Amino acid sequence: MASLPSVMPKPRRGEPPAERVDRLGWIAGTCVESFGVRIGIRSNEARILERLTPHLPPAWKPSRSAVVDRLFSLWVDPGARGSRRPARLYAGRCCLARTTDLGEALAILESEIRQTVAAESRRRVFVHAGVVGWRGRAIVIPGRSRSGKTTLVAELVKAGADYYSDEFAVLDARGRVFPFPKPLSIRGPGGCDLHARRRTAEDLGGVSGRRPLKVGLVALAHHRPGSTWRPSQLSAGRAVLELLAHTVPARLRPEASLEALEHAVENALVLRGKRGEAEETARQLLDRLDTV
Bridge-partner residues for 269, per DSSP?
A: 217
Of 152, 131, 278, 144, the closest CA to residue 218 belongs to 131
pTM value? 0.92
Is residue 114 a contact partner of residue 164, using CB atoms and an 8 Å limit?
Answer: no
% the chain with pLDDT above 90: 81
Give the 3-state DSSP-derived string for 84-106, with helices as H, strands as E and coil as C. Answer: CCCEEEEECCEEEEEECCHHHHH
Q: Kindly report, residue by residue over 112-139, the tens digit of the pLDDT.
A: 999 999 999 999 999 999 999 999 999 9
Helices marked H in the chain: 19-22, 102-120, 149-158, 236-244, 254-265, 278-291
The H or E element containing residue 275 is strand 269-275
Read off the amino acid at residue 261: L
pLDDT in tens, 144-153: 877 789 999 9
Residue-range domains of the chain with CATH? 10-120 (no CATH), 125-291 (3.40.50.300)
Chain segment 224-278, per-residue pLDDT in tens: 888 999 999 999 999 999 999 999 999 999 999 999 999 999 999 999 999 999 9
